[in-house]
Amino acid sequence: MLGKGGKRKFDEHEDGLEGKVVSPTDGPSKVSYTLQRQTIFNISLMKLYNHRPLTEPSLQKTVLINNMLRRIQEELKQEGSLRPVFVTASQPADPLSDNFREAQPAFSHLASQPLLPTDFVSTMPLESCLTPASLLEDDTFCTSPTVQHDGPTKPPPPALQPVKDSFSSALDEIEELCPAPTSAEAVAAQTAADDSKDLPSESNVQKPEGLPESRTAESKLMDSLPGNFEITASTGFLTDLTLDDILFADIDTSMYDFDPCTSATGAASKMAPVSADELLKTLAPYSSQPVTPNQPFKMDLTELDHIMEVLVGS
Amino acid sequence: SHAADIISTVEFNHSGELLATGDKGGRVVIFQQAQENKTQSHSRGEYNVYSTFQSHEPEFDYLKSLEIEEKINKIRWLPQKNAAQFLLSTNDKTIKLWKISERDKRPEGYNLKEEDGRYRDPTTVTTLRVPVFRPMDLMVEASPRRIFANAHTYHINSISINSDYETYLSADDLRINLWHLEITDRSFNIVDIKPANMEELTEVITAAEFHPNSCNTFVYSSSKGTIRLCDMRASALCDRHSKLFEEPEDPSNRSFFSEIISSISDVKFSHSGRYMMTRDYLSVKIWDLNMENRPVETYQVHEYLRSKLCSLYENDCIFDKFECCWNGSDSIVMTGSYNNFFRMFDRNTKRDITLEASRENNKPRTVLKPRKVCASGKRKKDEISVDSLDFNKKILHTAWHPKENIIAVATTNNLYIFQDKMN
């Protein structure tokens, strides 16, 4: 069980805010609303996608978890530029399509591995971007002026758009933004797009499981779709958050100095040395600084992290 | 003990003489109250096993490649009309009507059969005699009389017998069907909340019950904390409710989990028919059927869990479906909690008590000691802190004798029967 709750940070505003803000009701005061929301979102996804019962899962439970996810997604949409890092766990609307089969392995690692909230908290650089719920009231927080993306102006893509398309278009836009990509980046992008099947799963989660894990998760997911209320029902909300939303101008690729000769074969194994821990080390300079809200690079940090895990995928 | 022994439902019959339990392994065990012992006037008869039978077997749905659990979700007794007893038992998909009858005599003295059943050689028969009934050891037989199948796509959560004693309803997540007890090949759909597009599904049916006196009226509760009262005379398909009971949300208690904890896990009419009780995750509410906008009474079962909802969501406890029950006079309501605790609320005195069903702490015939959970701050002696509660020890099913102060409380594997101290 969680430890006893301490005094919350914004006590003096408590009475006024509770009517407006859905306050966290759990845990120590330093767990912000945003972090708790992300934790709950992740737990919910895990519940929906990890579960492979022999009997039909409870429809009531599925509906309630689904509603939870939808509500959080609505909130995120309304808040505008808060990007959930785990958007990669989203499943395309049509899990039975071939596109799904191809795109799935690249993203299934987040769904297939049990993401304990503690793991999530410890590895996510989001810690450095904690936002007290009171500041969510402040509109100026929600802007990210330095990020060049289509963001709020772009209408949400149609629900049936396979993730792979948006991934490819995301990469296209990256190339547009960076007209002279390093060879490493081109290799990484190319390999990620074409050989996504071969990429062993990789993420900030401490367990870098290999390819079989994501394969199993994929087949598990396909098989576990309940007969009538399919998991597809829950994809309606997630496909709105596509990779298009997380593009930004600069990608720091300095740590990916790949030898172009190795790109053809064994690219996957060559990428392996770039582990989650090493990724974190590069981010450490950022996370060790106390971050105040409204710092523009805080949003970049989130997106940097995300884009790196997608591109590298070792 | 085995997982198949997990008790999944408990129900007294209309006289209280019989108590039925269903378990995860598809078995039904019926207990019978012993005749009152005239010499021991200070205690009522004990409950002993009367009959045990396998009600449901596991099945396999080949279309979906999924097992259909044999777990008994609900048992409901029919009122007794003759010497035999009848009950309905249901798993997720199929309802069965069982006849439980006693046999304490058997015919003896056949002409063509020996007593052990072997046939006699007809040529050796020289005289004729009339077989007579002789007493035998009591045998209780259960036989399935009706099987009501193939009417539910989703999981059955409730069955309820109508006050006309001819029809009954069965409810699953999205539909409620009306049956005639004599007819198994046909049922009428009276409620259907399935949306055309399943992606739009946000609410399911969680429980349903017929009104105890008015045979046209029933209620059903939802996962969003609403109760709808329907009148079958209004239309064939009761998609429009006559009344909608819903309490507005308390804004100061809003959280991520507000919807989940508002989901109603059980609904029960009072014996009088004037009130109904609902159980959601943290509370029990009493509703006056004439007032739709809020309950008339609310009792907190374990409010100290409100600050633990995230953990309870993570370990799935937040989805536990607690039941609730009335005593015979509708003055006390009872429901279960965690750590093998159960709670009683006296509606008249407004007092409540927490008791524990466990073998370690209670010897037979000792009075149960009240328990107290310490929510925060210094824990007093004999109090138990919230963090020490065992969330695997949950009491989901309780039942109250219709006439006397005898209660049945089911922990995971055990059934406890308590009675009040008679002076």
- Indicate the number of domains in chain B: 1
The verdict on a CB contact (< 8 Å) between B201 and A2 is no
Closest CA in chain B for residue A41? B256
What does the DSSP assignment read for B41-110?
TTSPPPEEEEEEEE----EEETTTTEEE-----EEEEPPP-SSSEEEEEE-SS-EEEEEEEEEEEEEE--
Which residues of chain B from 59 to 98 reach within 8 Å of chain A, CB to CB? Answer: 61, 63-69, 92
- A312 CB-contact burial (10 Å; exposed 0-12 / middle 13-18 / buried 19+): buried
Portion of chain B with pLDDT greater than 70, in percent: 97
Does residue A122 lie within any of the structural domains? no
Q: Residue A129 above 60 pLDDT? A: no
Confidence grade of residue A8 (pLDDT, cut at 50, 70, 90): low
pLDDT tens digit sequence for B86-120:
999 999 999 999 999 999 999 998 998 888 888 98
Under 8 Å CB-to-CB from A193, ≥6 apart: which residues?
A167, A168, A171
The verdict on a CB contact (< 8 Å) between A58 and B314 is no
User: Is the CB of residue B1 less than 8 Å from the CB of residue B10?
Assistant: no
Q: Is B110 on the interface with A (CB under 8 A)?
A: no
Domain that holds residue A44: 29-79
DSSP-derived 3-state class of residue B318: helix
Does residue B94 lie within any of the structural domains? yes
Q: Going along B172-261, which residue ranges are E strands?
A: 175-180, 183-192, 205-210, 217-222, 227-231, 243-245
Helix/strand/coil (H, E, C) string of chain A?
Answer: CCCCCCCCCCHHHHHHHHCCCCCCCCCCCCCCHHHHHHHHHHHHHHHHHHCCCCECCCHHHHHHHHHHHHHHHHHHHHHCCCCCHHHHHCCCCCCCCHHHHHHHHHHHHHHHCCCCHHHHHHHCHHHHHCCCHHHHCCHHHHCCCCCCCCHHHCCCCCCCCCHHHHHHHHHHHHHHHCCCCCHHHHHHHHHHHHCCCCCCCCCCCCCCCCHHHHHHHHHHHHHHCCCCCCCHHHHHHHCCCCHHHHCCCCCCCCCCCCCHHHCCCCHHHHHCCCCHHHHHHHHHHHHHCCCCCCCHHHHHHHHHHHHHHHHHCC
Mean pLDDT score across all residues of chain A: 51
B-chain residues near A24 (CB < 8 A): 255-256
pLDDT at B332: 98
Q: Is B304 on the interface with A (CB under 8 A)?
A: no
Give the residue with greater pLDDT, A40 vs B376.
A40
pLDDT at A122: 36
pLDDT at B36: 73
Name the residue facing A229 among B198, B259, B376 (closest C-beta).
Answer: B198
pLDDT tens digit sequence for B306-352:
999 999 999 999 999 999 999 999 999 999 999 999 999 999 999 99
pLDDT at B269: 98
Does residue A74 lie within any of the structural domains? yes
Closest CA in chain B for residue A231? B199
Find the length of chain B.
Answer: 423
B-chain residues near A14 (CB < 8 A): none
Take residue B232 and report the two structure tokens written for it. Answer: 């079958």
Does residue B222 lie within any of the structural domains? no
pLDDT at A29: 53
Domain that holds residue B87: 1-102+141-148
Under 8 Å CB-to-CB from A101, ≥6 apart: which residues?
A218
Q: Residue B407 above 50 pLDDT? A: yes
pLDDT at B364: 75
Does residue A33 lie within any of the structural domains? yes
Name the residue facing A26 among B202, B260, B307 (closest C-beta).
Answer: B307
Closest CA in chain B for residue A45? B314
Closest CA in chain B for residue A15? B252
d(CA B293, CA B273): 19
CATH code of the domain in which B76 resides: 2.130.10.10
What's the DSSP call for residue B128?
Answer: -
Strand B7-12 and strand B18-23: pairing? Answer: antiparallel
pLDDT tens digit sequence for B18-59:
999 999 999 999 999 998 765 665 567 899 999 999 999 999
Pick the range with the lowest mean pLDDT from A38-47, A207-216, B51-60: A207-216
- Substitution target from B73, B156, B199 for chain A, most A beta carbons within 10 A: B199
d(CA A13, CA A203): 37
Under 8 Å CB-to-CB from B166, ≥6 apart: which residues?
B180, B181, B182
B-chain residues near A228 (CB < 8 A): 153-154, 198
Q: Is the pTM of this model over 0.80?
A: no
pLDDT tens digit sequence for A63-116:
999 999 999 999 989 887 555 544 444 443 333 333 333 333 333 333 333 333
Find the length of chain A.
Answer: 314
User: Is the CB of residue A160 less than 8 Å from the CB of residue A99?
Assistant: no
Does residue A103 lie within any of the structural domains? no
The verdict on a CB contact (< 8 Å) between B252 and A230 is no
Does residue B291 lie within any of the structural domains? no
Does residue B95 lie within any of the structural domains? yes
Which residues of chain B from 157 to 216 reach within 8 Å of chain A, CB to CB? Answer: 173-174, 198-199, 201-204, 206
**Chain centre to alpha carbon of residue A7:** 30
Q: Is B315 on the interface with A (CB under 8 A)?
A: no
User: Is the CB of residue B265 less than 8 Å from the CB of residue B279?
Assistant: yes
The verdict on a CB contact (< 8 Å) between A26 and B387 is no
Name the residue facing A19 among B251, B259, B319 (closest C-beta).
Answer: B251
- Mean pLDDT of the region B161-173: 97
pLDDT at A53: 72
- Mean pLDDT of the region A241-263: 44
- Indicate the number of domains in chain A: 1
B-chain residues near A91 (CB < 8 A): none
Name the residue facing B64 among A26, A56, A58 (closest C-beta).
Answer: A56
- Mean pLDDT of the region A5-14: 46
Pick the range with the lowest mean pLDDT from A82-86, A119-123, A191-195: A119-123
Q: Residue B410 above 90 pLDDT? A: yes
The verdict on a CB contact (< 8 Å) between A59 and B306 is no
Q: What is the dihedral of CA B173, B179, B181, B182, to 10 degrees?
A: -140
A113-118 long-range Cβ contacts below 8 angstroms, 24+ apart: A113/A201, A113/A203, A113/A205, A113/A207, A113/A209, A113/A213, A114/A46, A114/A50, A115/A42, A115/A43, A115/A46, A115/A205, A117/A39, A117/A42, A117/A43, A117/B314
Note the ipTM here: 0.92
Mean pLDDT score across all residues of chain B: 93
pLDDT tens digit sequence for B192-232:
999 999 999 999 999 999 999 999 999 999 999 999 999 99
Give the residue with greater pLDDT, A147 vs B242.
B242
DSSP-derived 3-state class of residue B324: strand
Pick the range with the lowest mean pLDDT from A23-27, A208-212, B352-356, B382-386: A208-212
